């Protein structure tokens, strides 16, 4: 994606790129580069172009990773162009933005708690969150190496979930799975796994339940 300014007598343009979530939360400043009015400067992952005959200064941002777009690239990209004009001691800011959404990839497990200690006889729930675009096609459940028999006690719902993107916690629209277990006993001890499949691949989330003495 590119950001350009069209104006006569431009001396210097400082381009600053910011990535935000689609909920308008700040994620990171991607890169910034400075271009003078007589040449081109290329910094980092941005490409700056100067076209003298048209008085156009442009900064282009490469957002793919090894030719692939993943979930971390989704969001709103804001380009701030700071213009320094010839023969003026004045800086002018110009801002533009573009939204990049509907990036599709394999499911992503977003599990923060991989183990739980449960008091025998207590009712408990396993909560698992995940992200999937496109929508998952199949969910399957296992306890250790066997198919889970508690499907009547399982609910799946859409929910805004927190996810780490570039070390920043942001909110995204994902899914929440709740597995309810009544009167926890030694038979319920084990590893509970959810296998998630969409047309781009699969992922799985595992939570271990252990017994805690009263």
Are 125 and 168 members of one domain? Answer: yes
> Rounded distance, CA 50 to CA 4, Å?
10
Are 29 and 83 members of one domain? Answer: yes
Are 135 and 41 members of one domain? Answer: no
List the CATH number of the domain containing 143. Answer: 2.60.40.10
| Longest CA–CA separation in the chain, Å | 81
Are 35 and 74 members of one domain? Answer: yes
Are 120 and 69 members of one domain? Answer: no
> Rounded distance, CA 160 to CA 105, Å?
18
End-of-domain residue from the set 100, 124, 159:
100
List the CATH number of the domain containing 30. Answer: 2.60.40
Are 87 and 128 members of one domain? Answer: no
End-of-domain residue from the set 71, 100, 129:
100
Find the mean pLDDT for residues 102-123: 85
In tens, the pLDDT along 118-167 reads: 889 999 999 999 999 889 999 999 999 888 876 678 999 999 888 888 78
End-of-domain residue from the set 34, 65, 100:
100
> Rounded distance, CA 214 to CA 210, Å?
13
Sorted by sequence, the CB contacts under 8 Å of residue 94 that are 6+ apart come out as 5, 80, 81, 83
Domain count, the chain: 2
According to the model, what pLDDT value does residue 42 have?
35
Q: Which residue range(s) make up the domain with 69? A: 2-100
Direct distance between the N- and C-terminal alpha carbons of the chain, in angstroms, rounded to an integer: 59
Please state the pTM of the whole predicted model: 0.68
Are 94 and 118 members of one domain? Answer: no
In tens, the pLDDT along 82-98 reads: 888 777 777 888 888 98
- pLDDT at position 44 over 70: no
Are 118 and 155 members of one domain? Answer: yes
* Cβ atoms 80, 61 nearer than 8 A: no
* Maximum average pLDDT range among 3-12, 69-78, 131-140: 131-140
Are 125 and 183 members of one domain? Answer: yes
In tens, the pLDDT along 172-213 reads: 889 999 999 999 999 999 999 999 999 999 999 999 999 986
> Rounded distance, CA 182 to CA 60, Å?
56
């Amino acid at each position: 994606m590119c950001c350009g300014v069209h104006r006569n007598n431009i001396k210097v343009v400082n381009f600053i790129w910011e990535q935000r979530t689609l909920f308008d939360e700040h994620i990171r400043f991607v890169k910034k580069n400075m271009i003078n009015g007589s040449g081109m400067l290329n910094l980092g992952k941005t490409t700056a172009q100067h076209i003298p005959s048209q008085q156009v200064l442009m900064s282009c941002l490469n957002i793919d990773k090894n030719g692939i777009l993943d979930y971390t690239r989704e969001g709103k990209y804001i380009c701030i162009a700071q213009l320094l004009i010839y023969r003026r001691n004045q800086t002018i800011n110009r801002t533009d933005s573009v939204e990049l959404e509907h990036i599709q990839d394999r499911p992503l497990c977003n599990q923060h708690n991989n183990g739980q200690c449960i008091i025998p006889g207590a009712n408990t729930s396993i909560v698992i969150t995940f992200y999937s675009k496109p929508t998952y096609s199949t969910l399957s459940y296992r306890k250790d190496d066997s198919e889970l028999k508690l499907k009547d006690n399982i609910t799946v719902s859409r929910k805004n979930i927190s996810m780490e993107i570039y070390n920043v916690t942001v909110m995204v629209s994902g899914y929440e799975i709740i597995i309810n277990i009544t009167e926890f006993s030694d038979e319920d001890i084990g590893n509970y796994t959810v296998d998630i499949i969409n047309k781009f691949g699969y992922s799985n989330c595992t939570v271990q339940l252990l017994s805690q003495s009263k």
